[in-house]
Structure 1
Amino acid sequence: MKVIRWILGRIILLLDFVFSPRGVKRTAEDQHVVDQQSAQLALYQFDACPFCVKVRRSMKRQSIKVELKDAKNNPQHRAELESGGGRVKVPCLRIEKEDGVEWMYESSDIVAYLEKEFA
């Protein structure tokens, strides 16, 4: 089972690379504003997770730079995810707000949030 998962993961990563979406073209000033807004975000993810790929592709389509944290291979990121969000489930978007931190887990919710905030 582990071998099958590894093979499927590599296929997912290959297809993601080959069919990578193009980002939105913005003026330098507009992109700087988007970069400042996205500095408050961090995505906890696994490289070959199909739902994580869905979120990363959405970020690329919208030209959003979000810090990626590998919760599979980095024990520190995994511990942050578990202590902050309450569970180790990916993808998880960490959103720093003035009134605290919000942890968003579902890929469809994350994509909808990014589209709403950065459209």
Structure 2
Amino acid sequence: MKLIRWILGKVILTGNFVFAPKGLTRSEDAQAQVDDKAKSMALYQFDACPFCVKVRRAMKRQSVNIELRDAKTDPVHKQALLEGGGRVKVPCLRIENGEDVTWMYESSDIVAYLEKEFA
């Protein structure tokens, strides 16, 4: 089973590389505003997770540079996801809004949020 997951992971990553979406073109000022807003976010993810790939592709389409945190191989990020979000499930978007922190699970919810915030 581990071999099958490894092979499927490589297929997913290769397909994502070959068919990478184009990002939005913004003015320098508009992109700087997007980048500033994205600094308050982090995406906890696994590299070959198909749902994480879906979210990363949406980020690329919106030209949003959100910090990626590998919750599979980095024990610090895995523990932060467990403590903050309550479970180790990816993808998970961590959104800081002043003192409040929101942990958003579900790839479709994250994609909809990104499209609403950065379109």
Q: TM-score range by the shorter chain?
A: over 0.9
C-alpha distance in 1 between matches for 2:98 and 2:45: 24
Amino acid of the residue matched to residue 54 of structure 2?
K
For residue 20 of structure 1, what is the aligned residue in structure 2? 20
Q: What are the equivalent positions in structure 2 for 1:12-51 lying under 5 Å apart?
A: 12-51=12-51
Q: Share of identical aligned residues, percent? A: 66
Give the unaligned 5+ runs of structure 2: none
Deviations 1:73-116 (Å, cap 9, x if unpaired)? 00000000000000000000000012410000000000000000
For residue 108 of structure 2, what is the aligned residue in structure 1? 108
4+ runs of 1 displaced by more than 4 Å? none
Cα RMSD over matched residues? 0.5
C-alpha distance in 2 between matches for 1:7 and 1:106: 24
Q: Across the two proteins, how many residue pairs are aligned to each other?
A: 119
TM-score (norm 2): 0.99
1:55 and 2:65 aligned = no
TM-score (norm 1): 0.99
Give the unaligned 5+ runs of structure 1: none
C-alpha distance in 1 between matches for 2:52 and 2:89: 11
SS in structure 2 opposite 1:81? helix
For residue 90 of structure 2, what is the aligned residue in structure 1? 90
